Structure 1
């Protein structure tokens, strides 16, 4: 059979073996062995023939040995179904089983023709569908040929042909169902793993953006408060109060991000950007509001972009001025909402870090794009830096 899930995967029934899942302990192996062995009750005809068929002691002894060998080979073949085994090896085992059934039927009589039903069922259960669709009719044909050879076998043939064919092909269907169940179980596990990875990635992005912005602002205000002491204690106290407020808001934001409810807005981020730039001593040229009503996903993506861009300006640019523009414009592909953040700082090599990488992923999730690099409008020693985030809009938004 095709490959199976690893041992230890839950089956949904305590102490039972699920469909397509191999037995994991002794109890489950016993349960599976009992389910397989219960069908051996139909070997009553050969057993009755050995007990009261009038055979000599030597023939009965050889018959018992042959029946035991057949049953052992059959159980071994069917019990190991579900493990990764080469098709050629399984086909050889089925051939041995068919040879045993043929020899016992020809030697001991028509009562032994029932063994071919087990051959058909074993081939349907153990072989892939593209092979068993030939071996099941092959076992039935061998049953027919043997029954026509054995004295009185024709009387048994009609009662064995349908069980052999239907039993064999029923096992083919069951095998296909098991394989499908295995694939569905693996697909479900893969989806769960992808969902967990996506949630971890979301939390990492949110925490990076939230804490990076808040901690940068706390650091700036702490340095500012330190410079105001001891000469301007009242102004330093106001900075400390701002630090407390930012810290509390950061705690609220982190809790909301972890809970999955965090959705920043452009007005809130514009206000936060103005506060952060002013605390860093950077002249802030910001719009008073956003570009009109935007879908929540679009506004959220642009708000995160604004937060990340302003955090980078405060941390790394050394700029004296920062300009933010928010607008909607028409392109050949349709209307887009566009955020541009430009500073006049010294633009070094643009190496995307965790922030820009996470921001690119956020924008990509809503079909947006991110470009970042030197602004190209400053003097050589201070070329400036520009970050532009664009998100497509529905025509109804405009």
Structure 2
């Protein structure tokens, strides 16, 4: 008997999670695995943050909080937006959730009717289209090629808009490409968006603090304040503060939207974890020097990985401007044969060859709507990255 709802019939599991779980299973079998599939810093959460969590436990702050988050944390988020991005929000325009993922899901659930369209520039994070489909919307994938550094142009946006368009999703720095939208590029998109008052924009800025080569970060509400009442800006502490397991994200946007998202959250998870909220408060209001330390370490690793992999004839990658991923074109491997006699026809074949035979876990680009590519996280120890590069080099050398 089929007891599943129709809306989940074509729902795809997270490819990043799937590759990570397969790598873990191989580890349990005793195989040497270097997992570069998951977007997770290898640094420990800074001690002032963990200390704040312990103090919250000892102070008995273990009960329900307001659904949208404690007022102290929303005040800190308000101050963060003002100081970092020059955007002014009230606390009633801010919601805290169980990770940025929940904020995204709440926003789509609050606004999408059946068959409403969401424009998603690709390559893109695996969960965007699945969330839209699960709610009954229609993801409109717009492929952004390497010539544009995998970023959406105003001309592409104009062409993709229809009477059913409800949202545009912008992710900068990007997962999986590491591309960062410039002020001029966002301004050009804003010019197009102004012509279509029904369209809202979701800015996923979760990698905001991970920018390289002394570049500046801009977000749409910052450079187009006249569009602020049509923009939901999402961020969190998972990536920059090495707090992936704490599960705290936040969003800021129009008051009516935030209120509805809070009602939805009240009927699903209710408030985010109380202890994690106090830890996040410490993250946003405490010392920030380690952010620069983390970024410098990631930039060094980026440069190492880029140099090693780009020196291999079969691989070709662009230098990421932010986040902690290398996005590698692997089409030069296609149609080659492994020592076991298997022909590698696509990026999925390549990914499983590297994992099963050489113990390097990464994610095929097909998961990000970009076949022919691989995504490797360089959020791992330098020794691990060096060993992974050597394994990949050997794996390619053995192909015929």
TM normalised by structure 1 equals 0.22
From the two aligned structures, give the one with the greater helix fraction: 1
- TM-score calculated relative to the size of structure 2: 0.21
